[in-house]
Amino acid sequence: MLTQVALDVTSLSRAIELAEACAEAGIHLLEAGTPLIKSCGVRAVEALVERFPERPVVADTKTMDTGALEAELVASRGAGLGCVLGAAPEETIESFVTRAHELGMGALVDTIGAEPGDVLRKVDGLSDGPDYLLIHAAIDESVTGEQLLERAGVGECPYRTAVAGGLTPEKVEGLDGVDAVIVGGYITSSEDPGRAAEEVLEAAGAEPYGFRPDERQREALLGLRRRARVGIVVRDPDRVAEVLRAAVRSLRWVRRGADVGAVGDDDLELLPEGVDGEGRDLLIVVGAEEFEGEELERLARDGRRVVLVSEEHVLKVYGVAEAVYEV
C-alpha cells in the first residue's frame, strides 16, 4: 500500500517543511493540495518537484473543465500524477486522462461530491482509463474515507484504488484491498509531522521510501521529470543505478501497467529488475555510445520518456538528448 501526504496548506514554505518531514519518514507520494495550488499556483507543484525529484508529486487540481489544458499545466511542471473530478463531464475526464498519458503523467479520477459507483460507470466508458480511482470524503462531510469506501459499491474496481478523507492510522489499519492511502490533517496538523507520517506508514504496512539523491542525482532526476529525452554519462555505476531505480519506481507508482523497457548490453548492471517491456512509457538505452546516431534518434522516438545511458561522452548522445547529466 502506497502512502501519500496531502499538503492542504496555503504557505509554500510550510508545504516544503512538511514535505521534508514526510520524505525523511519515508512517505511515497507528496501532494500539492488544492488550497496550496490555489494560493501559490502551479509554482507549488514545480517547487515540490525541484526539492523532491525522487518521488512523485501529485497535483490536486480537482479539474472540472478544460481537461487537456489543466493536465498540460501540471505535467509541464513535472507532476507525476494529476487529478480530475469524477463529477466532471465525461469528455473532460477523457481529455484529461488522454493528455496526461500522452505527456507521461498518471491520471487520478476523484469521486468527491459524487457517488463512487456512478463515477466508476462513467470512467468505464472511456477509451483510455485512469490509473487511480480515488474514493474521497470531503473535509466538510460527516463521513470519512474508510466509511465511504465501505458503502461505495465499486466492487472489483479495474483501476488502482485510493482512499482519502479524515484518515488516521487507526482507520488506515482497517482498510483492505486499497492501493494507496492519502492522509492530510493527521500529519499536517501534528506537532510532530515526521512521527505522524511514520505512524501512517506503520498502519499501512508500507515499506518506507528512504532514497534521497545527492546533487548530481537530483539534477538527473529533475531532467527526467521535465524532459522527454535525457542522457546520463556514467561516472559512478552505483549512483546511476539508483537514479534509474528511482525513475522506474516513481513511474510504476503513478501509472497503472507502466510499460518500461530497455535495449543495449547492461554490462555495468545498471537496470532495475523487471524492465522487460517495450518501453512505451520509459525506454532506457544502456551503452548508448555503441549505437549509431540514426538508431538513437529512432529509439528516442519510440518512448514517451527515453534515457540514453553512456559510459563515454559522445556527440551523438548530445545530439539526441535534450540535456545530458554526469552521475
- Reported pTM: 0.94
pLDDT at residue 177, as a whole number: 82
Cα separation, 115 vs 188, in Å, equals: 28
* CA-wise closest residue to 312 among 324, 297, 296: 324
Question: Across-strand partners of 213?
Answer: none
299/106: higher pLDDT: 106
Domain ranges of the chain: 2-204, 215-326
154 has pLDDT over 90:
no
3-state secondary structure of 106: strand
Question: 215-326: what fold?
Answer: Rossmann fold (3.40.50)
pLDDT of residue 152: 65
Is residue 146's pLDDT more than 70? no
Of all residues in the chain, the percent with pLDDT exceeding 90 is: 80
Shared fold status for 2-204 and 215-326: no
For the stretch 29-87, pLDDT in tens is: 999 999 999 999 999 999 999 999 999 999 999 999 999 999 999 999 999 999 999 99
Domain 2-204 has CATH 3.40.640.10: no
Task: State the Cα–Cα distance between residues 196 and 179, nearest whole angstrom.
Answer: 20
Q: Cα(297)–Cα(242) distance, rounded to whole angstroms? A: 25
Question: Given this model, what pLDDT does residue 194 score?
Answer: 98
Residue 137: predicted pLDDT:
77
- Give the pLDDT confidence of 130-144 residue by residue, as tens digits: 999 999 877 766 566
pLDDT band at 153 (very low <50, low <70, confident <90, very high): low
pLDDT digits (tens, 9 = 90+) for 224-276: 999 999 999 999 999 999 999 999 999 999 999 999 999 999 999 999 988 99
pLDDT-derived band at 145, boundaries 50, 70, 90: low
Distances (CA, A) of 134 to 27, 67, 181, 301: 18, 17, 9, 33
Catalogue the long-range contacts made by 136-144 (C-beta closer than 8 Å, 24 or more residues apart). 136/110, 136/111, 136/112, 136/163, 136/164, 136/165, 136/182, 137/112, 137/164, 137/165, 137/166, 138/112, 138/113, 138/165, 139/165, 139/166, 139/185, 141/165, 144/171
